Structure 1
C-alpha cells in the first residue's frame, strides 16, 4: 500500500520527478520510547538553489500512537494509526524548513488521512538538536 501511496503522489503532484518517486531508502535517524524517525536517503528533490524537498517517516510505538492521536484532529480510525509520512522543503543555507504534507497510515500502508499543509505552514528555523536538524545534517551535505 505504501507503493500505491507513492505512486499516487508521484502521478499527480508537485513531487513528480524521477528522484522523488524512487523507492524510498529509509535511514533511521532517531529513536525514543514514542517513535522511530527515518529520513529517505533515495534523494531529495532540489527545488531551487539551496532548497530541497525531503521525506521523513515516523513509526509510532503504542505510547507514541496514543499521544499522536491526541494532537491529530479528525483522524478516522485513530486506533489504526501506525506511521506518518511527511514531506518538507528545506533551505540548507538558512537551516529553515517548511512542512508541505503529512500522510497518516495504518500498519498495512492504508491511508487514514492525508493533508496538504504547504499553504498552512510557515518557514521556521530547524535547530541542530531536533529531528529535522538531523535531517539537515544528512540531506544538505555537499
Structure 2
C-alpha cells in the first residue's frame, strides 16, 4: 500500500465533506526539531459538525527520530525503514481541544508499514499554543 491508498481510504471514509479531504495534500511546514519535521495539510480541513473539524498532519523523521519512533511502535521490526507518520485529528475549534483519530506509518517508498485506528482509544485534550497541534489550531480554525 502506498500514501495514495491512505489518502483514498480517508476520502472514502469521510461522511461529511469529501471535497476538502480528497483534495491533493498541501503540506505546510510548521516546525522542525532534532527528531522530526512537522507539517499540516492545508487541504485536509473537513467540517464534522459546527466548530469541529478533521485535519491531517505529517511527521517526517530524522535518523534519530526514526529510531525513537520504532522503539515506541509495538510490532514494528527495528530494521523497518520508517520515514514518516501521517495522523488524522479531530479538533474542536472553540474549545481548542483535539483527539487523535488514526495514524499510518510509512517507509521511504510510501508503503504503509503499520496503520492504527485510534478514535476510540484517545481522549479529547486541550491543545496549548506552544505545541505542534496548537499551531495547527491557529492555522486550521477560523479566528
Counterpart of 1:20 in structure 2 is: 21
C-alpha distance after superposition, 1:33-61 (max 9, x if no partner)? 11000000014000011100000000000
- Does residue 1:29 correspond to 2:30, yes or no? yes
CA distance in 1, matches of 2:58, 2:109: 15
> Could you tell me how far 1:21 is from its partner in structure 2?
1.1
Q: Which moved more, 1:72-81 or 1:84-93?
A: 72-81
C-alpha distance after superposition, 1:63-113 (max 9, x if no partner)? 000111111111256531100000000001101001000000001000001
> Could you tell me how far 1:3 is from its partner in structure 2?
1.7
Aligned partner of residue 47 in structure 1, secondary structure: strand
- Does residue 1:129 correspond to 2:102, yes or no? no
CA RMSD after TM alignment: 1.5
CA distance in 2, matches of 1:76, 1:4: 22
CA distance in 1, matches of 2:39, 2:67: 20
Counterpart of 1:68 in structure 2 is: 69
| Contact 1:76–1:113 under 8 Å retained in 2 | no
> Could you tell me how far 1:8 is from its partner in structure 2?
2.9
| Contact 1:97–1:126 under 8 Å retained in 2 | yes
Structure 2: gaps of 5 or more residues: none
Aligned pairs (5 A) from 1:1-20 = 1-11=2-12, 13-14=13-14, 17-20=18-21
| Contact 1:86–1:99 under 8 Å retained in 2 | yes
Aligned pair count reads 141
Q: Which moved more, 1:96-105 or 1:2-11?
A: 2-11
| Contact 2:90–2:100 under 8 Å retained in 1 | yes
Aligned partner of residue 94 in structure 1, secondary structure: coil
| Contact 2:70–2:77 under 8 Å retained in 1 | no
Aligned partner of residue 18 in structure 1, secondary structure: helix
